[in-house]
Amino acid sequence: MPNLDEVVRELRSDIIRSIAVAGSGHPGGSLSVIDILAILYAHHLRHDPQKPDWPDRDRVVLAKGHACPALYAVLAHHGYFPKEWLSTLRQLGSALQGHPDRKRLPGIEAATGSLGQGLSIGLGMALAAKMDHKDSRVWVIAGDGELQEGQVWEAAMAAPKFKLDNLTLIVDANNGQIDGPVAEVMPLEPLQKKFESFGWETTAIDGHDLAAIEAAMSSAKKVLDRPQAILAKTIKGKGVSFMENNIAWHGRAPNREETERALKDILNA
Amino acid sequence: MPKATREAFGETLVELAEKFPNLTALDADLSHSVMTAAFAAKYPQRHWQFGIAESNMIGAAAGLALSGKIPVCASFACFLAGRLETIRAAVMLNGANVKLVGTHAGLGIGEDGASQMGLEDIGALRSLPGLTILQPADAIETRQAVEWMLGHPGPVYLRLARQKVEEVHKPDYRFELSKPDVIWEPEPKHCQATIFASGGTVGPALAAAKGLLDKGFSIRAVNVATLAPFDADSIENFAKDSERLVTVEDHNVIGGLGSAISEAAAGLGLGIPVVALGVRSFGESGKAAELYERHGLSASHIMDACLRGVRS
């Protein structure tokens, strides 16, 4: 998919530029999740950016709300709001809050960022679609670190009980959290077995292989009677050499020189 | 006939199910205690059992609400308020139309004791911008509060009690949001005290006002069913012809009705003493009436508070 390669490169640049202008933000987790978001919005999400309140739309809940620069870049690319807004990230009065706010920005389905809550919210949306006999799907994108929150496992227990085959959880497993590698801070493995034992259809993929993401999302949509978990192995800071797998870039903005180097890296990737 | 407010809630949910087709009930393994069981039995397609997992229930309620449903999450008051962060982030930041119904509030739960007693819920939840907090005094008011809640397009916390309470309202009573409801008017109007009570303490407050009348004192009793948004201005007229304000609540003395009245009195510069009766510790086991007596919420304690320092 060469055309999408180009789009993703541009989205990565948008992330870097918006965080650089803001002077703060979370580049690491935004760069790890952007391939997933790009494929989702381009090929799998039923949505209409001109009608963000369309009742039959699919829903996206970015549980790892701190990665919103990635979501904002994708939403702007699809025309939910003017691309110029990206340079207002985190400024006073901006619709682009430091964590997503559905009351301020079209295309945001839920305020997130208090980690561990997104899957429950998505579960409720999936239940509502079932009650209304709609075929809308709900896509929840969580970080791996946030799976340490107990509420995630309450939701993981409930979704199979309610047979929510319209609910897909994508885990952006970049193995990084603020205090260190996930495997050290509080290990999650064997993660796939955990979701399987809870009754989920699971698959593990390379979260930067666009064809693999494409295939996993296509398969998820065909599953009947149970929710699906796509465990996407990713690299924190993916696409910017000096940010990759460097936890220091979880939550800091690049300075001018670093921004230029980052944009060069992305172009040459 | 005495009836618990939680019972009136359960009956009203069933009665209003057709009027509010988007009404959906969510439970966390307490449907027979919080009285949603009848709704669940009659409308199984509109009821979701979440098990002993309140955070997920509240988060899912936010999702249901954002998709147009009117989810009613019921559990014990302490177990709902204990999920403050989920309520704050998933419900309130999203402005999700979720109805939280906390039953078995306060000492009134009785023998189950401290771990089951919601005594801090109002204090915790009153600081959330946009959350309406209601505490009806009897079955008549509960029915109307439930109907108001379902029609209101925003998040609501409804605080209900386990114990049976006497009716303090006539059948023609009409609940109005944030409007204090005078249940005992003094004669003459100038009175030794105006008592503000809410929920389970409204009965004792009424008994105290009547008891003091027999002793020659003039006392007003006001039922405060809306704790947020609190209409501070509404207390000004009461303060004008009262020597003191007395508050009494089955809740910690910090953060609830006593705080709301004190904040209002101070903010308006009324310069009137506020005597706040409320619970000052965690709860304990005992019968509801015994606990009200021990923790200073009974009619006799309220009478003492009305007269403390008053020259007769």
Amino acid at A178: I
Quickly name the fold that domain B181-307 has: Rossmann fold (3.40.50)
What are the chain A neighbours of B27 within 8 Å (beta carbons)? Answer: none
Provide the token pair at B164. 């049976």
Provide the domain limits for residue A168.
Answer: 2-268
Strand blocks (E) in B150-273: 156-159, 164-165, 181-184, 193-197, 219-223, 226-228, 245-252
pLDDT tens sequence across B31-53: 999 999 999 999 999 999 999 99
Number of domains in chain A: 1
User: pLDDT of A166-219, one tens digit each?
Assistant: 999 999 999 999 999 999 999 999 999 999 999 999 999 999 999 999 999 999
- B278, B248 contact by CB (below 8 A): yes
Confirm or reject contact between B45 and chain A (CB < 8 A).
yes
Given CB atoms, is A110 within the 8 Å cutoff of chain B?
A: yes
CA distance B3 to B21: 27
Q: Determine whether the interchain pair B63/A121 forms a contact, defined as Cβ–Cβ distance below 8 Å.
A: yes
Q: Which residue of B has its CA nearest to A153?
A: B56
Is A244 within 8 Å of A174 (Cβ atoms)? Answer: no
pLDDT given at position A116: 98
What does the pLDDT read at residue B187? 81
Q: Which residues pair with A143 in a beta bridge?
A: A172
CATH of the domain at A163: 3.40.50.970
pLDDT at B223 over 90: yes
The reported pLDDT for the residue numbered B257 is 98
Task: Tell me the pairing of strands A180-181 and A176-177.
Answer: antiparallel
Q: Do A117 and B71 touch (CB under 8 A)?
A: no
B311: pLDDT strictly greater than 70: no
Grade residue B312 by pLDDT with cuts at 50, 70 and 90.
very low
**Which parts of chain B fold into alpha helices (H)?**
5-15, 31-34, 37-42, 54-66, 77-81, 84-86, 121-125, 139-151, 202-214, 236-240, 257-267, 288-294, 299-307
Query: Quick check: A2 pLDDT over 80?
Result: no
Contacts of B66 in chain A (CB under 8 A): 102, 109-110, 121, 124-125
Residue with tokens 């640049």: A13
User: How confident is residue B1, by pLDDT bands cut at 50, 70 and 90?
Assistant: confident
CB of A141 closer than 8 Å to CB of A33: yes
As a whole number, mean pLDDT of residues B14-35 equals 98
Residues in CB range of B305: below 8 A, 6 or more apart: B193, B246, B248, B275, B277
Query: Which residues neighbour B163 within 8 Å (Cβ) at sequence distance 6 or greater?
Result: B4, B108, B109, B110, B200, B288
What span, in angstroms and rounded, lies between the C-alpha atoms of A173 and A161?
25
- Report whether pLDDT(A16) > 70: yes
Q: Calculate how close chain A gets to B312, using CA atoms only, in Å.
A: 57
Q: What is the mean pLDDT of residues B224-248?
A: 96
Please check whether residue A120 touches B, CB under 8 A: yes
What per-residue confidence (pLDDT) applies to B240?
94
Percent above pLDDT 90 for chain B: 96
- B56 at A interface, C-beta within 8 A: yes
Domains B3-165 and B181-307 share a fold: yes
Return mean pLDDT, chain A: 97
Residue of B56, B85, B94 lying closest to A110 (CB–CB) = B94
Q: How confident is the model at residue B310 (pLDDT cuts 50, 70, 90)?
A: low
Residues A36-59: what's their mean pLDDT? 98
Look at A151 and B50 and tell me if their CB atoms are within 8 Å: no
CA–CA separation, A149 and B276 (whole Å):
39
| pLDDT at res. B309 | 62
The CATH homologous superfamily for domain B3-165 is: Thiamin diphosphate (ThDP)-binding fold, Pyr/PP domains (3.40.50.970)
Domain positions in chain B are: 3-165, 181-307
8-state DSSP, A97: -
Residues of B classed as catalytic? 54
Q: Is A55 on the interface with B (CB under 8 A)?
A: yes
Contact A111 B89 (CB under 8 A): yes
The residue-averaged pLDDT of A218-228 equals: 98
- Model confidence at A1: pLDDT above 60: no
Average pLDDT over chain B reads: 96
Give contacts of A 190-209 with B, CB under 8 A.
none
Mean pLDDT of B152-180: 97
Quick check: A100 pLDDT over 70? yes
Identity of the amino acid at A97 = Q
Tens digits of residue pLDDT in B283-293: 999 999 999 99
Whether the CB of A123 is below 8 Å from some CB of chain B: the reply is yes
